[in-house]
C-alpha cells in the first residue's frame, strides 16, 4: 500500500484501471516513466473504443441508429472536452493529433495575414507549436519574433516582452508547460499583453493537460491545443477555439466539410473509435475528485494528481541532485513544474543510459530532445544525445520512484 506522503492518493485503485501496468519485462513489472511521450490508456477508454467498433459504427448524417449513436457519441466527447478545458462544446474540434490540427489552424489564419504582420513563438516550445507558425510566416512574408529562454533558469525571459509583442503581432504561440524540462510558463501574463496589442494567442497545452487543470478562460487563450493520448486516452488531437475566432476562421474548404463550427475544421471522416475513447479519459480524471459538478470533480481530481505526482517528482529530483555525475535540467525551486525530470549522466550517452534502464532494470525512460529542439540546441544538450527524461503519471508509485533511484545509482556505480 502507498504510505503517507503520497497524500492518500488511491494509486492501487488507479493502477487497477490501467491494464498495461500488468506488463512484465525481463521477469520484473515494467515501470512506465515515459508518460510525456504518451501515457498508458485507462480501461474505460479501451472499453469505449472496442464497444464502438463492436457495436456497429457508422458515418454521420444517416437515418439509422448507428449513425445517430455516432453523432451522439461525438457530441458527448465534445462536451467532456469542453468541461475539461473550460470551453463550449461547439468550440471543440477533433483531429489526428495536435500537430496536424495546429497546421490546419495556422493555414486558415494565415489566409488573412499580410506582409509586415508579425508572429511570436518561443524558444522553449515543442516544434509542433513553432513550425506551423514559421511556415505561415514564410508563406505570407511575415516577421517572426522569438520569446527567448533564459538558459540558466530554464524559464521564458519576459524582460523585453513589450518589445517582442508589438502592435503588428497577429498571433503569439506559447506552450503552457515544457515537455523538455517541465517548466510551466506564465501564459496568462503573455496572453494579457498579446490581447492588449490585439494579437491572438495559441496555447500548446499538450504537456499540461495530463498534469493540472487547464482553464482556457483563465489563460486567455484563443486557441488551446492538446492530445488525448497524453492524458490516458486515445490518439486524437483536440483544439478549443474561442467562438468569435472560430466563426471567422477560414479553414481550406472541401465539399464534404460543413461551413459551421466546429465541424468545418474536421475535414474528412474522423477517427470515430478514437473519439469514443475521449470521454472515459476525462471521466477518469474527474473520478479522482469530488464535488457536485463535473467542473468541481475535475478541479479536485487534478489537485489529487498534482499532489501525488509532485511528491514522487520531488523524491526523484532531490535524490538525483545529490548524485555525482548527474546534471539536472530544472527551473529554480520556486518555479512551478510538471513532474518531468530531465537530466544527463556523465560518461554515458542518454541512449545508452535509457537502454540499460530498460534491459537491466525494466524501467522505461526516453532519451532525445523530444522536439523541444530550440531549447535543446540552445543548451547544447543535443550535441551529447539530448536528455534522459523521466516523466511521471498518476499510476506511478513510490515503490517505482525508489526503483528508479536505485537503478540510476546502479548504473552510476559501473561508470
Ligand atoms: C508539448 C507538446 N506539444 C506538442 C506535441 C505534439 O503533439 P502530437 O503528437 O499530438 O502532434 C507534443 C508531443 O510530444 C508535446 O509534448
Q: Does ligand 1 come within 6 angstroms of the Cβ of 340? A: no
Burial group, residue 37, by CB count within 10 angstroms (0-12, 13-18, 19+):
middle
pLDDT tens digits, one per residue of 328-350: 999 999 999 999 999 999 999 99
Give the pTM: 0.97
DSSP 131-166: HHHHHHHHHHT-EEEEE-EETTTTEE--TTHHHHS-
Question: Do 203 and 321 have their domain in common?
Answer: no
Half-sphere exposure of 98 (CA within 13 A, CB side): 25
Residue 201 has pLDDT above 80, yes or no: yes
Measured from the Cα of 102, ligand 1's closest atom is 11
Q: Which atom of ligand 1 is nearest to the CA of 237?
A: 10
**Among 284, 310, 329, where does a domain finish?**
284
Cβ of 185 closer than 6 Å to ligand 1, yes or no, is no
Query: Tell me: the pLDDT tens digits for 54-67?
Result: 999 999 999 999 99
Structural domain that includes position 22: 11-41+294-413
- Residue where one domain finishes, among candidates 284, 316, 331: 284
Q: Is 175 in the pocket of ligand 1 (CB under 6 A)?
A: yes
Q: Report whether pLDDT(356) > 90.
A: yes
Instruction: Say if residue 53 is in the same domain as residue 36.
Output: no
> Domain check: are 68 and 21 in the same one?
no
- Is 219 within 8 Å of 184 (Cβ atoms)? no
The pLDDT score that the predictor gives to residue 4 is 39
Same domain? 37 vs 51: no
- Domain for residue 330, yes or no? yes
Check pLDDT > 60 for residue 1.
no
Could you tell me the distance, in angstroms and rounded to a whole number, from the CA of residue 275 to the centre of ligand 1? 18
71 and 180 together in one domain: yes
Is the beta carbon of 193 within 6 A of some atom in ligand 1? no
CA of 17 to the centre of ligand 1 (A): 24
Q: Is residue 73 part of a domain?
A: yes
**Pocket lining: 206 vs ligand 1, CB cutoff 6 Å:** yes
Backbone φ and ψ of 246, nearest 5°: -65, -40
**Tally of domains in the chain:** 2
Tell me the CATH number at 378.
3.90.1150.10
Q: In this structure, what C-alpha cell is assigned to residue 148?
A: 527567448
Task: Ligand 1 pocket test: pick from 207, 228, 274 the residue with the most ligand atoms within 8 Å of its Cβ.
Answer: 207
Q: How far is the CA of 13 from the centre of ligand 1 (A)?
A: 28
Domain boundary among the residues 256, 284, 312 is at 284
Respond yes or no on whether the N-terminal peptide bond of residue 139 is cis (omega within 30° of 0).
no
What pairs with residue 328 in β-bridges?
A: 343
At 244-266, the pLDDT tens digits run 999 999 999 999 999 999 999 99
> Cell numbers of 17, please?
484501471
Q: Are residue 159 and residue 22 in the same domain, yes or no? A: no
3-state secondary structure of 3: coil
Q: Look-up: residue for cell 495546429?
A: 102
126 lines ligand 1 (CB under 6 A): yes
- The answer, yes or no, to whether residue 7 has pLDDT greater than 70, is no
Q: How far, in Å, CA of 224 to CA of 160, rounded?
A: 25
For residue 312, is it within any domain? yes
Question: What is the per-residue DSSP string for 192-224?
Answer: HHHHHTT-EEEEE-TTTTTTS---HHHHT-SEE
Q: What is the mean pLDDT of residues 278-294?
A: 98
Q: How many whole angstroms from 313 Cα to the centroid of ligand 1?
A: 21
Q: Let me know whether 100 and 239 are in one domain.
A: yes
Q: What pLDDT does 6 receive?
A: 60
Residue 227, pLDDT > 70, answer yes
Terminal-to-terminal C-alpha distance of the chain: 34
CATH code where residue 113 lies? 3.40.640.10
DSSP letter (8 states) at residue 41: -
227 and 312 co-located in one domain: no
The arithmetic mean of pLDDT across residues 129-147, rounded, is 98
What's the rounded mean pLDDT across residues 69-91?
A: 98
Amino acid at each position: 500500500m502507498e504510505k503517507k506522503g503520497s497524500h492518500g492518493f488511491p494509486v492501487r485503485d488507479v493502477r487497477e484501471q490501467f491494464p498495461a501496468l500488468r506488463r512484465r519485462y525481463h521477469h520484473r513489472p515494467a515501470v512506465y516513466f515515459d508518460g510525456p511521450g504518451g501515457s498508458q490508456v485507462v480501461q474505460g477508454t479501451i472499453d469505449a473504443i472496442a464497444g464502438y467498433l463492436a457495436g456497429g459504427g457508422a458515418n454521420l448524417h444517416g437515418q439509422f441508429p448507428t449513425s445517430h449513436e455516432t453523432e451522439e457519441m461525438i457530441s458527448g466527447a465534445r462536451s467532456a472536452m469542453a468541461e475539461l478545458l473550460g470551453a463550449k462544446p461547439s468550440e471543440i474540434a477533433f483531429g489526428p493529433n495536435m500537430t496536424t490540427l495546429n497546421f490546419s489552424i495556422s493555414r486558415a489564419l494565415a489566409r488573412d495575414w499580410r506582409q509586415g504582420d508579425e508572429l511570436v513563438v518561443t524558444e522553449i516550445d515543442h516544434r509542433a507549436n513553432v513550425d506551423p507558425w514559421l511556415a505561415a510566416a514564410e508563406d505570407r512574408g511575415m516577421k517572426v519574433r522569438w520569446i527567448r529562454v533564459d538558459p540558466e533558469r530554464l524559464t521564458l525571459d519576459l524582460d523585453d516582452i513589450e518589445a517582442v509583442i508589438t502592435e503588428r503581432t497577429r498571433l503569439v504561440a506559447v506552450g503552457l508547460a515544457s515537455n523538455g524540462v517541465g517548466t510551466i510558463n506564465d501564459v496568462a501574463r503573455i496572453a494579457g499583453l498579446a490581447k492588449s496589442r490585439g494579437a491572438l494567442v495559441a496555447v500548446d497545452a499538450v504537456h499540461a493537460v495530463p498534469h493540472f487543470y487547464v482553464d482556457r478562460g483563465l489563460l486567455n487563450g484563443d486557441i488551446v491545443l492538446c492530445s488525448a493520448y497524453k492524458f490516458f486516452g486515445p490518439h486524437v488531437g483536440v483544439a478549443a477555439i474561442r467562438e468569435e475566432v472560430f466563426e471567422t476562421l477560414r479553414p481550406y474548404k472541401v465539399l464534404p466539410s460543413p461551413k459551421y463550427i466546429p465541424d468545418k475544421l474536421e475535414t474528412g471522416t474522423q477517427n470515430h473509435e478514437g473519439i469514443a475513447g475521449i470521454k472515459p479519459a476525462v471521466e477518469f480524471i474527474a473520478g479522482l475528485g469530488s464535488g457536485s459538478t463535473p467542473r468541481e470533480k475535475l478541479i479536485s481530481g487534478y489537485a489529487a494528481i498534482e499532489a501525488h505526482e509532485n511528491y514522487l517528482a520531488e523524491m526523484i529530483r532531490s535524490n538525483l541532485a545529490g548524485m555525482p555525475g548527474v546534471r539536472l535540467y530544472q527551473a529554480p525551486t520556486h518555479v512551478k513544474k510538471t513532474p518531468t525530470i530531465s537530466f544527463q549522466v556523465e560518461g554515458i550517452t542518454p541512449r545508452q543510459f535509457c537502454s540499460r534502464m530498460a534491459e537491466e532494470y525494466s524501467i522505461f525512460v526516453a532519451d532525445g530532445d523530444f522536439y523541444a529542439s530550440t531549447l535543446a540546441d540552445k543548451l547544447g544538450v543535443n550535441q551529447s544525445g539530448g536528455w534522459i527524461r523521466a516523466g511521471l503519471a498518476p499510476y506511478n508509485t513510490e515503490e517505482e520512484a525508489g526503483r528508479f533511484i536505485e537503478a540510476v545509482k546502479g548504473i552510476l556505480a559501473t561508470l
